[in-house]
Structure 1
Amino acid sequence: MGQSKLLVSIVAGAAVGAALSMFDRTTREKTIASTKKMKEAISYYAANREELQVLVEEKVLAAKGLYETVSDNVNMITEKVEEFKDVPSTIQGMIDDTKSAFTLPDKE
């Protein structure tokens, strides 16, 4: 059996698409500027590893805080859903009580 050529075709298509997009002057200039900024950032953080470590730690702490907030919100929503599951039976009980209060008792 031959290997699937899907991955090779996708990579080749992406390469051709990227090459064709470079014919547009604006795209080419933005790509060059982005590449230069990335190169400068890599060089800066390579020389200042402590600063990179602090930056990464800050991002990790921010991500943990976001996770905790989302987790708390999900737990609260789950609790509210559980509370709302009991609402129909409570309402039905109130309807039955009201109905029985307003109906005349049957005479036997």
Structure 2
Amino acid sequence: MNNSKFGRFILFGALAGAAISMLDRATRQHMVRSTKDLAAEISYYSKNRDVLMSKIQEKKEKYQSVYEQLAGDASYIKQQVDELKTLTPQVKEVVMNTKEAVVDSKDEVKEIVQSAKEDITKK
């Protein structure tokens, strides 16, 4: 009933893959460079916590302004959708009235043209 073998084998596979990838010289050099850069950055921020705090504050403000912008945009879109839902029946009624008016005027024009033809043929 030992169900944790899957997780252990995944971990062993990842470690084996990492060890094999370290056989490549370029990978080793890249990892050494990355580790040194990370260590230097950690050392710098451990000595200059105020710089770290200001960077964190800047990021927080940036993400907060992006969130507020997105929230405002979502609110505007919701308002427009609600307005469109309200206007749709009115627009439908206007279109139907316009269609009826066009059909009625079309019939009237036909009658006028027909009577004009009859008048011309009588003369």
Q: Which bin holds the TM-score, normalised by the shorter protein?
A: 0.7 to 0.9
Structure-2-length-normalised TM-score = 0.71
Distance 1:14 1:87, change over 3 A: farther
Point out where structure 2 has 5 or more consecutive residues left out of the alignment. 105-123
> Comparing both chains, which one has the higher relative contact order based on Cα–Cα distances under 8 Å and sequence gaps of 6 or more?
1
Shift of 1:90: 3.6
Shift of 1:6: 2.5
Point out where structure 1 has 5 or more consecutive residues left out of the alignment. none
Structure-1-length-normalised TM-score = 0.79
- The alignment covers a number of residue pairs equal to 104
Tell which structure's C-alpha radius of gyration is larger: 2
1:84 is matched with which residue? 84
Pairs within 5 Å for 1:1-108: 1-86=1-86, 88-104=88-104
Q: Percent of counterpart pairs with the same letter?
A: 35
Shift of 1:8: 1.8
Q: Distance in 1 between matches of 2:83 and 2:6?
A: 50
Shift of 1:64: 0.9
Distance 1:90 1:25, change over 3 A: farther
What is the CA RMSD across the aligned residues, in angstroms? 2.0
